[in-house]
A and B are shown apart, each in its own frame.
Chain A
Amino acid sequence: MKSNRHVAIIGNGISGVTCARQLRKLDDNVRITLISGESKYFFSRTALMYVFMGHMKFEHTQPYEPWFWEKNRIDLKEDWVNEVDFENSTLNFQSGESLAYDDLVIATGSKPNKFGWPGEDLQGVQGLYSKQDLESMEKITEKGVNRAIIVGGGLIGIEMAEMLSYKKIPVTFLVREKRFWDNILPKEEAELVGRHILEHHIDLKLDTELKEIQSNQNGQVKSVITSAGEEIQCQFVGLTAGVKPNVDFLRETDLEVNRGVKVDSYFRTNIPNVYAIGDCAEFHEAPGEDRKTVEQVWYTGRMHGETLAYTINGKPTAYQPGVWFNSAKFLDIEYQTYGTVPPQWKEDEVNSFYWEAPNGKVAFRMLSAKDGRILGVNNFGFRLDHAFFDKAIKGKWQADQVISKLQKGMFDPEFFAPYHIEIQKAYQKASGRTVQIAKKSFIQKLFGASV
């Protein structure tokens, strides 16, 4: 690659920014422009909820100080891209300006799903994805909201519920499925989270869908009608039934777009020198057995950016994700997952071991194949070490071996309850096989918390 090329990146989320940073590391001369109309500086989208709840100021969500961009010669352009002129390799902005590029990276992220519900565009109805969404939510909930409805039981939904609860606004949570997030979580885990939601006095209505949003005479939301025919008065509706690639401005161009921008495993689109990464990219083929064609997770966005930088830099590098991992926090309960833990599995192919602490807030699940090798784990209310499980799953360790060494896989702070001992005992009992059970350390006996 010629070193003085100009790489334009649309979108300064984790994918775009990682790509820009990695590119600069690899090449000192390439010209890089990061474009975003949402905010001049990169911020952590996942932290928007903490700004709302007063844990942080918006500035705190920006991982780099303003001088960082200048120092690394990454030009920031604060504008919205109206259209991409692929023929002339030029971007046309809302401000009327335009910018020529040699390589284009599309990293425009997602936007909240809407399914054509009546009233979905009323005032007081919104999703939560962008900085603008946050500002809108802050404005609407300033006063006069006596009840809020959240539609869709996923991670953004529960975050929104927590945010509204902070403002002491009563929340009704409409979840289509029988259990919370049960398209991802197995039954026991989904129930654990469901109980915790109720513990926070959030009115969780399972097996319930949104039918219609009704307005008052000012075009503001007044109530919703559920699939059960119930009408609930409310002044705010959060739509959190997933997100979809934010690519509408690219439709009806030469670029191949389906749900997202179609890419191969090198993030190449059908147009030369145009790439797409992050939430808005759709692979022709899923990058792994248990992977989806559209990956909409912070961590995968980071890896897309990291990988693409190599390709642009002239070392074509295919995207090869390692062992899957993810994490979240459901109100007060932390959740991590490593490897493959689907919501359901075939009993004759997969062994499942599940342990839950008596308080019902700490849980561990491990799936293993019939030949004993570990497939994946879910953990709630305590912390497991990423490196340990990455190694175990990649190395196809036997389940017994993982459990015997569990102490090494713990990531809880000092003095915390030795959950691994309880898990080892429970595993031994459930499987009938002997595993090595750790002993409490002297300090743990003296000061440690009990399970």
Chain B
Amino acid sequence: MKLIQKIGLILFLVGITVFTVLPFLGNYTLTETQVRENTKDIHTEKMIEILAPMYGQKYSSNFSFLTDFNKHFNEYNDQLKDQALWDQVIWDDYSFPLAKTALASPVSDNPWLFLFLSVGLAALGGLLYNLPKYQGEPEGVKNNGVFKSSMKNRGWMGMLTGAYLILFYVILYWFPAYLVNLVAMVDPLSVILSGNPASQWFLYGFIYTLAIIVMGVRMFRKYRGNKYQQLRTASVMFFQTAFAFLIPEILVLFNQPYFDFKNIWPLDYDFFYDYQIDTFLSSGGVGMFMLIWGILLIIIGVPLFTYFFGKRWYCSWVCGCGGLAETVGDPYRQLSDKSLKAWKYERYIIHGVLVLAVGMTLLTIVNYFSGFALLGNVTNQLHSFYGFAIGSVFAGVVGTGFYPFMGNRVWCRFGCPLAAYLGIVQRFKSRFRITTNGGQCISCGNCSTYCEMGIDVRWYAQRGQNIVRSSCVGCGVCSSVCPRGVLKLENGSEEGRINELPIIIGNDSIKLNN
């Protein structure tokens, strides 16, 4: 390893360590004023009363602070629940805003410094590690040593990485109050972009975007000389940075609704939720445009683009989940399960999620127009069930945390309802297919091994058969790793798209009736 790479690795590890330690710094002191400022009006008086014993006390860690907070808060709520006074129970979670305002730490005093020492060093280290890769070697995609690597072949390093990611997601989604130090660190950045202090989602979006950029650089190095991979990587980097991260924040700065123009229902499952619709409708022309743009994407954009280019136009060129999978997840793509059994499960699960998403959305819309007469409060519970099961557990914890265990497209392959929708169009009405080069396949298995979607590409290639599968995201890696130049991604005429040749080119012994 080159010296620069070693330095990069050290910087990266230092950054990650600082990032991991930061949440434990500083102390917490809560005052009545802070409670007043950070609670909804209807809860203010009650919360001031509940938390009274905590005022002025100095807690030396987030654990002691949040334990005490939860004790007081739960005592109050449990009492009401015991008496079945459901309407008086406080369902809002105030732990995050109160912990954030009560925090006094070196991080909140010097946010830029700590941002540099943690995320900054990790990103810098990552770049220093990735940039000199393959220097002085001829161009060519090499997967040397992938299956001998502890990181990339489910060794202890991979397990550790997976465990770390899962833990991070669990805390981020369900216990964000423990991360207030990290959120404080990105506060000034958030203020610059949107004029508001950061939430845990801003922190997440920032790290997410940076991860795609740093690992995108790795893609440029690894696939140098391969124009398709280069352009595709540049595209996901651009869409994540501009559309998913910067534009929504800047919209907020201009007092417009937060909106990611490339996020499409049903992946964006709350697009039709009542509060979303209300936001669109109450934001004048821009809000109206967002609503119409979103609907046009769903009913015209998806089928039309998918007809012309296959679902790859979204999944491996635009989508944020895809963007992370294609960059951060690239080292793990070979871990996807290619067995027939996995394929069987895949079809049930992904279409199940699609049905669930559509059903839930229909109920929401009907409910909205019936003035909430249909379901009442059940809508909210349905929403929170879907948000928990699909939005958080599947898309987040499993989707990303499982990279080192089951490959980088677990979410896209088994869970994404939009992928299911795009896939149905792709399978039945599209000009896209992967073509195979006559009889040139040697069944070596590189294509199948490196297919992140778990498609047994070789099964088709060794028959000289075009590959038309609803799950294919068109990443093009099968074509890149093929040592015989057998595979090519194509948009052609629908005619001849599905071919089943019993005998492939080169053998004139057997004549077939065609």
Binding site for B on A (CB under 8 A): 14, 44, 46-47, 50, 53-57, 60-63, 65, 166, 196, 199-200, 298-299, 302-303, 306-307, 310, 317-323, 325, 327-329, 331-332, 334, 336, 361, 383, 385-387, 390, 411-417, 447-449
Q: What's the minimum C-beta distance from A112 to chain B, rounded to whole angstroms?
A: 19
With contact pairs A54-B148, A325-B439, A413-B476 given, residues A63 and B488 touching in the complex (Cβ less than 8 Å): no
| Top 8 A-B residue pairs of the complex, sorted by shortest distance between their CB atoms | A386-B438, A332-B140, A47-B444, A383-B485, A54-B145, A54-B148, A415-B227, A303-B507
Is B21 close to A, CB under 8 A? Answer: no
Q: From residue 226 to 249 of chain B, which have CB atoms closer than 8 A to chain A? A: 226-228, 231
- Are A415 and B437 within 8 A (Cβ)? no
In the complex, residue of chain A having the shortest beta-carbon distance to the beta carbon of B450: A55
The reply to whether A44 and B147 contact each other, CB–CB distance below 8 Å, is no
Interface status of B144 (Cβ within 8 A of chain A): yes
Q: Give complex CA distance A103, B446 in Å.
A: 35
Residues of chain A within 8 A of B444, CB atoms compared: 44, 46-47, 50, 61
Q: How far is the CA of A387 from the CA of B439 in the complex (A)?
A: 9
Question: Using Cβ atoms and an 8 Å threshold, which residues of chain A touch B149?
Answer: 54
Q: With the chains together, A50 CA to B145 CA distance in Å?
A: 9
Contacts of A62 in B (CB 8 A): 445
Query: Is the Cβ of B446 less than 8 Å from the Cβ of A55?
Result: yes
Complex Cα gap A212–B147 (Å): 37
Considering the complex, which residues of chain B in the window 459-514 have a beta carbon less than 8 Å from any beta carbon of chain A?
Answer: 459, 462, 476, 479-481, 483-485, 488-489, 503, 505-510
B446-466 to A contact mask, C-beta < 8 Å, 1/0: 101100000000110010000
Closest to A388 in B: B438
CA distance A317 to B508 in the complex (A): 10
B52 within 8 A of A: no
- Asked whether A61 lies within 8 Å of B440 as measured between CB atoms, the reply is no
Task: List the A side residues contacting B139 at CB < 8 Å.
Answer: 332
Please give, as numbers and ranges, the residues of chain B lying within 8 Å of A50 by CB-CB distance.
444-446
Residue of A nearest to B136 (CB): A201
Specify which chain A residues have a CB less than 8 angstroms from the CB of B503 in the assembled complex.
306
- Residue on B with the closest CB to A450? B227
Q: Would A387 and B438 be within 8 Å (CB), given that A44-B445, A303-B507 are in contact?
A: yes
Q: With A47-B446, A310-B510, A329-B484 in contact, do A416 and B228 touch (Cβ < 8 Å)? A: yes
Chain B residues within an 8 Å CB radius of A319: 509
Partner-A contacts on B (CB < 8 A): 138-140, 143-149, 226-228, 231, 339-340, 437-440, 442-446, 448-449, 458-459, 462, 476, 479-481, 483-485, 488-489, 503, 505-510
The reply to whether A55 and B449 form a contact with Cβ atoms under 8 Å apart is: yes
Q: Is the CB of B442 within 8 A of A412?
A: no
Question: Do A320 and B509 touch across chains, with their CB atoms under 8 A apart?
Answer: yes
A152–B482 alpha-carbon span in the complex (Å): 26
A336-B228 contact, Cβ under 8 Å, with A53-B145, A325-B439, A385-B438? no
CB-nearest residue of chain B to A323: B506
User: What's the minimum C-beta distance from A5 to chain B, rounded to whole angstroms?
Assistant: 21
Q: What's the Cα separation between A386 and B227 when bound, in Å?
A: 22
Rounded to whole angstroms, the CA-CA distance of A57 and B293 in the bound complex is 47
A331 contacts across to B, CB distance below 8 A: 138, 140
Chain A neighbourhood of B339, CB < 8 A: 65
Q: Roughly how many angstroms separate A417 CA and B225 CA in the complex, as a whole number?
A: 10
Whether the Cβ atoms of B227 and A448 lie closer than 8 Å is yes
Cα distance, A57 to B445, chains bound together (Å): 10
Would you call B509 and A55 a contact (CB within 8 A)? no
Compute how far the CA of A65 lies from the CA of B445 in the bound complex, rounded to whole angstroms: 12
Which residues of chain B come closer than 8 Å to A320, judged between CB atoms?
507-509
Given known A56-B449, A298-B442, A385-B437, contact A413–B488 (CB-CB < 8 A) = yes
Q: Is the CB of B445 within 8 A of A47?
A: yes
**What CA separation (Å) do A448 and B227 show in the bound complex?**
7
**B438, A60: Cβ atoms under 8 Å?**
no
| Complex alpha-carbon distance, A65 and B344, angstroms | 15
Q: Closest A-chain residue to B485, C-beta based?
A: A383
List 17 A-B pairs, Cβ < 8 Å: A46-B444, A47-B442, A54-B144, A55-B446, A55-B481, A57-B147, A63-B443, A196-B138, A307-B510, A310-B510, A325-B506, A383-B437, A387-B438, A413-B488, A415-B228, A417-B227, A449-B227
Q: Within the complex, which residue of A302, A306, A317, A329 is in contact with B483, where a contact is CB–CB below 8 Å?
A: A329
Q: Which residues of A contact B438 (CB under 8 A)?
A: 325, 385-387, 390
Contact partner, B138, options A321, A332, A336, A412, Cβ 8 Å: A332
Q: A63-B445, A413-B228, A416-B228 are in contact. Are A200 and B509 (CB under 8 A)?
A: no
Given A307-B507, A322-B506, A53 and B442 contact (CB-CB distance below 8 Å): no
Known A299-B442, A320-B508, A327-B484; 16 more pairs at CB < 8 Å: A44-B443, A50-B445, A54-B144, A54-B145, A62-B445, A299-B439, A307-B510, A310-B509, A317-B510, A322-B506, A325-B506, A336-B485, A412-B488, A415-B228, A416-B228, A449-B227
CB of A54 within 8 A of CB of B506, answer no
Query: Complex: how many Å from CA A118 to CA B252?
Result: 81
Q: By the criterion CB–CB under 8 Å, are A386 and B445 in contact?
A: no
In the bound complex, do residue A55 and residue B437 qualify as a contact, i.e. CB atoms below 8 Å apart?
Answer: no
The answer to whether A447 and B443 touch across the interface, beta carbons within 8 angstroms, is no
Bound CA–CA A14/B504 (angstroms) = 15
**A447–B233 alpha-carbon span in the complex (Å):** 13
Residues of B within 8 A of A414 (CB): 227-228, 489
In the complex, the answer to whether A322 meets B440 with C-beta atoms within 8 Å is no
Given the known interface contacts A298-B442, A385-B438, the answer about A334 and B485 at a Cβ–Cβ threshold of 8 Å is yes
With a cutoff of 8 Å between Cβ atoms, the chain A residues found around residue B147 in the complex are 54-57
Task: Give A61 to B480 CA distance when docked, in angstroms.
Answer: 18
| Contact partners of B440 in chain A: CB under 8 A | 299, 325, 327, 336, 386
Residue in A46, A323, A383, A448 whose Cβ sees the most chain B Cβ within 10 Å: A383
Asked whether B485 lies within 8 Å of A327 as measured between CB atoms, the reply is: yes
Of A199, A299, A307, which one neighbours B509 at CB under 8 angstroms? A307
Report A229 CB to chain B, min CB distance, Å.
33
Bound-state CA distance A46–B485 (Å) is 15
- Give complex CA distance A302, B488 in Å: 23
Q: Would A390 and B506 count as touching, CB distance under 8 A? A: yes
Q: How many angstroms between the C-alpha atoms of A65 and B146 in the bound complex?
A: 22
> Chain A residues with Cβ under 8 A from B146's Cβ?
54-55
Residues in A whose Cβ lies below 8 Å from that of B340: 65
Pairwise interchain contact B505-A387, C-beta atoms closer than 8 A: yes
Q: Assess the B507–A61 pair: CB atoms within 8 A.
A: no
Shortest CB-to-CB span from B439 to chain A, Å, is 6
Which A residues are in CB contact (< 8 Å) with B138?
A: 196, 199-200, 331-332, 361
B442, A321: Cβ atoms closer than 8 Å: no
| Whole-angstrom distance between the Cβ of B430 and the nearest chain A Cβ | 16
Contact between B509 and A303 (Cβ–Cβ < 8 Å)? yes
- In the complex, chain B residues whose CB is within 8 Å of the CB of A383: 437, 485, 488
Residues on B with beta carbons closer than 8 Å to the beta carbon of A14: 443
Chain B residues near A416: list those with CB within 8 A.
Answer: 227-228
**Which B-chain residue is minimally distant from A306 (CB atoms)?**
B507
**Contacts of A47 on B, CB cut-off 8 Å?**
442-446
Tell me which residues across on chain A come within 8 A of B480, comparing CB atoms.
Answer: 413
CA distance A303 to B509 in the complex (A): 9
Q: Which of B437, B458, B479 has the most CB of A within 10 A?
A: B437
> Are A321 and B506 in contact, with the CB atoms below 8 A?
yes
**Interfacial chain B residues near A63, Cβ < 8 Å:** 443, 445, 458-459, 462
Choose among A166, A320, A412, A413 the residue with the greatest number of B CB atoms under 10 Å from its CB. A413
Task: Tell me the smallest distance from the CB of B153 to a CB of chain A, in Å.
Answer: 8
In this complex, what residue of A is CB-closest to B444? A47
**A354-B510 Cα distance, complex, nearest whole Å:** 35
CB <8 Å contact, A321 and B508: yes
CA distance A415 to B480 in the complex (A): 13
State the Cβ distance, A342 to closest chain B Cβ, in Å. 19
Closest-by-CB residue of A relative to B503 is A306
A317 lies within 8 A of B506 (CB) = no
Query: Which residues of chain B come closer than 8 Å to A318, judged between CB atoms?
Result: 509
